[in-house]
Homo-oligomer: A and B are copies of this chain.
């Protein structure tokens, strides 16, 4: 396999895996293109490389910036904006974990707490409902705290590395 083949295979695979971390295909593809690119890319270059429209590129770049995964960069003496993604996979994982927790897990926990809090009326139905939704709530809370612990773990790992450099 040569570079060009490998590159498009990587972008496609990572793109379709986007669902795993809750983002759409174009967004994931832009991110992966930036991830393997040695230099920051302009919007033109991204459009050209992925064969997607200007509008689509603009909207998805904005979302990526919103997630904190991509950032704008300015080249001296150039008006154009250039984009780069976080290049450290550990840090990338940390950001994604945090965002997913905030966007999905936390709201779910809130609803689970609400619904598991109905007053039992003595029927089997409500007893089972309360029992099961409580269990689900605890599981979700465990998953959430695990995710956050992992994220902070990675932060510590980075922090440690930085400290090592300066010690």
Could you list which residues of chain A lie within 8 angstroms of chain B, going by C-beta atoms?
A: 1-3, 6-7, 9-10, 13-14, 17, 19-20, 22, 35-38, 87, 89-90, 92-93, 100, 104, 108, 111-112, 114-115, 117-118, 121, 124-129, 132-133, 135-136, 138-139, 143, 146, 150
CA distance A125 to B128 in the complex (A): 58
Interface CB pairs A-B, < 8 A, 27:
A1-B114, A3-B121, A6-B129, A6-B133, A7-B115, A7-B129, A10-B111, A10-B115, A10-B129, A10-B133, A13-B108, A13-B111, A13-B112, A14-B108, A17-B104, A20-B22, A20-B100, A35-B132, A36-B128, A36-B129, A36-B133, A38-B124, A89-B135, A89-B139, A90-B139, A93-B139, A93-B143
